[in-house]
Every structure is written in structure tokens, then in C-alpha cells.
Structure 1
Amino acid sequence: MFENQRGRNQMALIDDPLTRRGCQLWLERVLGFYGEDGGVDVQVIEDQIILNDRTVEYLYSEYTPLETPYVAGSRPMLEAVVAEHVRQGMTDREKALALMRRVRDNQDGGLARPGLFTGGTEEELLKRGALMCNEVSRLYVCLCQMAGLPARLHCSHISGHMMTEVYAEGKWGWIDPMKGIAPVTDDEKPASAWELLQDPALFERQPKRVWADCRPPAVTFGTQQRDLRNVAREMARNRDCYFHPREAMALGNYFVWEHRRYSYPWRIEPADPQRLARARHAEQLNRRAAGWPDHYFSDSLFDEPLKKR
């Protein structure tokens, strides 16, 4: 289904002109950075489908298989990580959160800087410390699948962030493994991307344990990463940007057992700096026109005292 409306043509499913323009500019930015043949981070685009009223039923039923046919012994380094953090007796949700924390904390303050180099297999991401959201997310999806948890990629194209969904407790739940955010609904069930899109204010109603897991990537307020003002800013960014009503949101499959389908090049500079710069400039103008909040453009402009329940 939607065979001609996915991948590089996924914007065909978008009616709003600014949202469609934002999706087109996202693709330009990605291709400017990675190149037309940019390896896994471009190849994963080919299966993506926009999440909206037309596609939601398919995306939450047939699109992602709930079987995880991983063959033990295929990727021993990843298996070792799963074995270390997933214990017998854990619920599926507990497994997902344990692996989220492992991936969230897989950072290195030395060489693993996005401005220096990017790329590599999931094993290489573990070694060097993945920092970019697309790398963190595909590593997390692979670990979840090895633990028997169906998982997939979730993208907010206009805001420029990749996250995930994991199937646990009989439903899909959205998780940002880079920042350690795994929100729940008001009845304490994992909140899916679709549920969050319908009610972004759920981020204002998260329990203390969800806030406690969050690790903001930047220290804007105070001197500590876990300063509650920094956590509040991340919750507001989710509510106001990643789940903005005009966001171009997509889901995509990426399977740990299909890694031989992909190439995993290393990159130390953008493939086409001029194309990348043009796309980034146009994206900012489009975000302004589409109503993205001021605090998206400058973290220091965030001044809202979000509360946890």
C-alpha cells in the first residue's frame, strides 16, 4: 500500500503546502549532507510513509511486522548489550526502557562529535558513541528487535529529528532514545506518535519518572544537564515542534536482520555543502511561515514553567 507515495515521494500524501514544502526541504537537507548515494541514512528513507489521517490505519496495522526473526549469533556485539540490560522477568515495556537508557547514555565527549565524523554500523556506533539522532535511533531499533520487541523509526522532518516507536503492552509507544523520553497516556499506557500528534499537551502531563529519564542534549539553563528547566524545554520542544500540527511526520521500517541491504559509510564533511546550506536557510524561513515557536530557533527564548504530575 502507498507504494508510489513513500520514500522520496512521501510528500505526495501531504495537502498543506507549507508542510509539503517543509518535507521537500528536509529531503534536500539530507541529500546535501549525505549525498544521493549516502548509505544507510539515505537508504532508510525509501520505506518511509507520512503519518496522517489517510495512512494511520495502515501504519498501525499492516506496515510493521510484529515478528522479529533475528537469528542468534548474527551480530554478537549487539547481543551482548541486550544480554547485559534485558533480564528475565522484565515486561516488554521495562525492556524497552532499559535499552533506551543504555542508548541514551552511549555518548562520548571526545571524538564522537557530529561535526567531526558520522556514520558506521550499529556496532561502530556503540564503540564511538552515537550522538546524532538518526544514529541513536537506528541503534536503538536494532537492540529492541534483538530483544524481541518490534520497533521502527519515527521522523519529524520539518523540525529535523529522528525518534522511534516500540511495540510493548499490546500497542506502539513513541520513544526518543537520544534524549531518554518515553511518554505515557493519561491512563499510563505507552503513548504512540499518533496519540501524541492528536494531543501534544500530553507532554505537559507526564509523571515524574518520565522527567527523571530525560537527558537534554544541551545545557541552556543552569549548569546541569538535568536542570528541570532544561527538561521542561525538551518537553515543550516535543509538544510545540516535533508534534506541531503542520509537522511532516513519517514512520519507517529498519530491521536488524536486514543489515546487509545497507551500506554504512563514514563521513567527515557534507557531500554538497552549498546544497545543504541552501536547504537549511530555506527550512528556517519555511518554519517561520508555518508557525514554529520562537524557542525552536533559540533555546534561550523558552520561559515556560512546564509541570510534571
Structure 2
Amino acid sequence: MLVVLLTLWMWVGYLMGFVSLVVSQSTLHDAPSSTTPIDPELFAKAITHAKTMAITNDPNHRQHIQQHQQLLDQLQSGNIEALYTVAQSLNQRGAGDDRITSVQLWHALADGPAAHVLSAVALGFSYAEVDKELALKYFVQAAQGKGDGGPHQAAAFNAGRLFLELNDAASSLAYIRACANVHNQFPAYATPQLTQTCQEAYETLSLHIRQETTSPPGIEDAAEMFLYSSIDEFPEPNSKEFAMWARGMEYLEMYATLVREGNARGEISGNKKGQTYLLAAQQELEHMKSGYGKNMSELQHYLIDIILGRVQVLMTAMESEDGYEL
């Protein structure tokens, strides 16, 4: 799978700049501002910088002063949005110490009780080139939203990109699909441009997975990807078809447990159990495919055929009393 993931990474990579431009758009949709406790020393640095933000050549000087005083008043109370604004200003100055302070402020906001979404996004970008797993943590956090607030669409896309780079196709499909579908449940948190970008990225990833011949998915890869391989989110949780899929996977896990314990090889009782589990899994998945195939995506058809093909190979091997691992 590594070849296809790296290929798509090259295609998706140029989109990162576009996504970074839309990050600030969700500010309008954040939950009402609240306050949060913060380390006194870090808070003092924020106050010191905030006072310098009053210096301006703005012709609307009086309006600027009023806005600055409002910022200081909010900052004194530990207002989250005011702290975030100061962190942004510090980061934009470019000086080493200022950037460090900005990241510390974002950590205080994202890691604290507020779980501030935009601070998590900022941390994702801050770590994207130096610590991808840490960047992924914060993009995922922002993509999940907070409280009554909806998900951060750009963060979901960037999480999908990083999962792709870390060779996790299933999670990449999940988050890019989430980005593409934000508009369905949380329209206020979606933009048409980013929705289209995510839809195109999702379809491209799906196509590349289906067309990969050098290192196609194995049965475990196929099983992990299946539930995230329909942009229409088929099968829906708690549906009959989802239950069929879950039972099929449960039987395969039972077989895998036999293999891990060494009971599926060389023991007649183990072989019989293994055959029973494989046959049950095959029946569930074939029933799902025949009964609900019209609702499945092309990628899901491709993946379920991989699973059924491997199950058939295993069943044939079991009949000759020579079991194999999944």
C-alpha cells in the first residue's frame, strides 16, 4: 500500500496552502467566548505583548485604541479569544522567543479545559513539519470540535493528509470523508471550496487504491478500510447491513484467534472450528454483497472481493488440513 499512498501524497500536497488560508474562517462559528486559567508567567508575557499591540499607524487611530482597550480588558479576565489573538500576533512577529510564547499560549488553550479548537489548529500547523504525529493529534482534536461547536473542516482534511503520509489509508479515508461531509450535518462550519477539495481528494484516493497493482491491500487492510470507503457513509451504524458486516468481521476474528493460538493447524478440532468460522464469515459477507451491493461504492466492492477471495483461499487450505494466517 505504500506506493499508492506516496503517489496520492504528491497529488494532495499542493492543496495544503489552500487549506491553511481557510483556517480562520471558522472563527465566526466558534462557541461564545469564555475564560480559562493560565500560568501567571505566561499570562504576564501575553499582557506585555498586548500592550505593544496599541502602537499603530492606522488613520482610524481612535477606533484602534478602543479595540485595543477592549482586548486588554478581555485579556485581564483570561478571555480565551483574547489570549488566542495575542498568540497569533506573537507568532506573526517571527522572533524566536515570540514564536515560542505563542505556541505555549496555544498549548494552554488547546490542552486546557477550554480545548480551544483554533488553538489546536494552530498547533497542528506549528508541528506539521517537525513532529507529524503531534501535529496529527491536534488536527484530529480540532476536527472533532468542542461541545456544541461543530468540527473544523480544514483540520479534518489536514488530519487525513497526515494519516496518508503515515501510511494509514483507513484513517485517511475516514478524515477526508469527514471533511467532505461536514456540510451535511454542520453547514455553518463548511465552505463550498473546501468541501469540493475534500470530495476530489477522497475520490482520487479511492481510485488509486483500486488501481494499485504493485502492492494491493491485503485482507486486514481491506477490512480496516471498508467502513470508510463510501462517501455516502454506507453502511450506516445500527442498520441490518452494518450488522452483517460486523458479524462477518467477528467470525474472521474468531478464526484469527484460532490461528494465533495455534489451534487451526495440525488439529482436526481446530480445523473444524476454523472452517466453521470462515464459512460463517463468507455467508455474512456474500449476503451483504448480494442484498446491498447497489448501495456499496466501487471501492467497497473491490475491498469485499479481496476479503472474500482470501477467505476462499483459507477455506480451501483448511480442507487440506493446512491452515493459513489471514
Normalising by structure 1, we get a TM-score of 0.27
Calculate the TM-score normalised by the size of structure 2: 0.26
Give the structure with higher Rg (CA). 2
- Normalized per residue, the structure richer in helix is 2
Higher strand share: 1
